[in-house]
Amino acid sequence: MNKFDVNQLDLHYGDTHALKGINLPIPEKKVTALIGPSGCGKSTLLRTLNRMNDLIENVTIKGDVKLEGKDIYQDRNVAALRMKVGMVFQKANPFPMSIYENVAYGLKAQGIRNKKILDETVETALRSAALWDEVSDRLNSPAFGLSGGQQQRLCIARTIAIQPDVILMDEPTSALDPIATHKIEELMDELRKKFTIVIVTHSMAQAKRISDKTAFFWMGELVEHGDTDQVFNAPVDERTRGYVNGDFG
């Protein structure tokens, strides 16, 4: 079953035609990687999935993005959409507060005050983000005291805590060292059991390691998408073949 269906999606930033007639099914509880050279529209497509582009001036969008069959651009409740479709950014962006408060933030914003519920949710989210064992003895310490990789896992925990269905990740490991990257990649294997994940990555090795599906973009077009094995080992389009072979990038 598809979580999202993107149909005939065109996006302009002013005169820049950033996405051209995109059709992309995004299956449920799988990892879909968006790959392609810089400026090809990967992040733009990712941001259309939770309407983050709405925040940018001069954007026009045509076509539709269906989440479980309903066009997200027809529904005006963007806050509800973003609770269902969470996002993790390239650079970890913890709030200037404790580890605990970071994870509890979204729940408190929803008016949840019950300490038992908050404690349980914080613990579950930190466990799901494979961070609990490293921070359980210092939940009240500032989040900024964590390493970069831990901060990124904290941001993942903060996203998980509000129980989204989908997690969007925009180059989540590009600022991390190989060990921290490996931890997040390991974590993805657990996360895919519960969530639909869409990840933008510049690393083809990473896309190969962690994704079930891959979509290759080139100058605003979706050139090819399919099972990751097929896209990397038997690409149909010359441009995909050139990119995955490292001929350009």
Ligand X SMILES: Nc1ncnc2c1ncn2[C@@H]1O[C@H](COP(=O)(O)OP(=O)(O)OP(=O)(O)O)[C@@H](O)[C@H]1O
Note the residues at the interface with ligand X (CB under 6 A).
13, 16, 18, 36, 38-44, 56
91 close to 135: Cβ distance less than 8 angstroms: no
Q: State which residue, 18 or 139, has the beta carbon closest to ligand X.
A: 18
Q: What minimum distance in Å lies between the beta carbon of 242 and ligand X?
A: 16
14 versus 145: smaller Cβ distance to ligand X? 14
Minimum CB distance to ligand X, residue 220 (Å): 7
When the beta carbons of 134 and 237 are compared against ligand X, the nearer one is 237
Question: In whole angstroms, what is the distance from residue 79 CA to residue 118 CA?
Answer: 21
Question: Least separation, in Å, of the C-beta of 90 and ligand X?
Answer: 8
Report, in Å, the least distance between residue 34 CB and ligand X: 8
Min dist CB 147 to ligand X, Å, is: 24
Q: Specify whether the CB–CB gap between 213 and 31 falls below 8 A.
A: yes
Q: What does the alpha-carbon distance between residue 169 and residue 200 come to, in Å, rounded to a whole number?
A: 6
Handedness of CA 13, 18, 20, 26 (dihedral sign): negative
In angstroms, the CA 105 to CA 68 distance is: 27
CB-count exposure of residue 17 (10 Å: 0-12, 13-18, 19+): middle
Indicate the residue among 20 and 84 with the shorter CB distance to ligand X: 20
Task: Classify burial at 6, counting beta carbons within 10 Å of its beta carbon; exposed 0-12, middle 13-18, buried 19 or more.
Answer: buried
d(CA 213, CA 189): 14
- Whole-angstrom distance, CA of residue 38 vs CA of residue 56: 19
- Six-digit token pair at 134? 């490293």
- Distance in Å, CB of 39 to ligand X, minimum: 4
3-state DSSP assignment of residue 226: strand
When the beta carbons of 4 and 217 are compared against ligand X, the nearer one is 217
**Closest CB to ligand X among residues 56, 109:** 56
